[in-house]
Amino acid sequence: MSKMSKLFDQDNMFFAIMGVLFDLIILNVLTLLCCLPVVTAGASFTAMHSVLWRMVRHEETYVARQFFDSFKRNLKQSLLPWLAFLLAAIVLVVDGMLARSMGSMRGPLMACVAFMGLVIIAIAQYFFPLLSRYENPTSETLKNATKLALGFFPRTLCMLVILAAFAVLYAQFFIYMIPLLILMGVTLPQYCCAWIYNWIFRRIDGEIDAKGRKVAQS
């Protein structure tokens, strides 16, 4: 194959990266639009993860179609859990504002609020991907999300670090980050997280063992 042919080969690394970025942009816009009613944000996050774990597995991906298929399928089941997560977040924000005015108790109270916030984020980080992939009752999915957050703590910590790093970046350079937020502000950090939790999904599905080696399928 000539150098020119390799340059325009669809399997070229450049085209592969551009394809992923293009898919992330489309997915980000769809996710943000479907989050606008607020109450549908849970279904939107679930649909986003439904596309993301397919992307990291290099499965054939039709972003819009798979997004809306998952959105409609999980809209009802995701509603109450999402509202519960949202209410918990609001309570923690209020508690954090009150803790800041508590004088000598400010430090310990803020630490407690931050810890509880991380716990909620960690559970939610597993809950929506699980909901997008497995058909279980909501209570079972929530229980499994909590078990995975604790059982795979190093991976949970890695995802929290990724999300925190992007959050700090967005907060520090918010004005300059607005275009990125609109284009890939949600899907880019979650795409990074999908590479981490995909290993866990493969363990659950029996595709790999504890050391990451492929399991022979009977």
Q: For 64-80, what is each residue's pLDDT tens digit?
A: 999 999 999 999 999 99
* pLDDT under 50: residue ranges of the chain: 1-2, 4, 7
Number of structural domains (the chain) is: 1
Q: Would you state the structure tokens that stand for residue 143, as one six-digit string?
A: 């229980």
Residue with tokens 């394809």: 19
Residue 173: domain span: 12-204
The pTM of the full predicted model, rounded to 2 decimals, is 0.90
Task: Evaluate whether residue 218 is within a structural domain.
Answer: no
Q: Which two tokens stand for residue 115?
A: 């810890």
Establish if 215 belongs to a structural domain.
no
Does some domain include residue 65? yes
Query: Residue 216: what pLDDT?
Result: 63
Q: Which residues have CB under 8 Å from 79's CB, separation 6+?
A: 39, 42, 43
Is 133 a domain residue? yes
Measured CA distances, 164 to 35, 96, 161, 190, 198 (Å): 21, 17, 5, 12, 20
- Supply the DSSP symbol for 213: P
Residue 17 lies in a domain: yes
pLDDT given at position 210:
73
Q: What span, in angstroms and rounded, lies between the C-alpha atoms of 208 and 181?
A: 35
pLDDT digit string, tens, across residues 162-183: 999 999 999 888 888 888 888 9
Q: Is the dihedral of CA 30, 180, 191, 6 positive or negative?
A: positive
Distance CA 127, CA 26 (A): 23
* Residue 211 is assigned to a structural domain of this protein: no
How high is the pLDDT of residue 13?
83
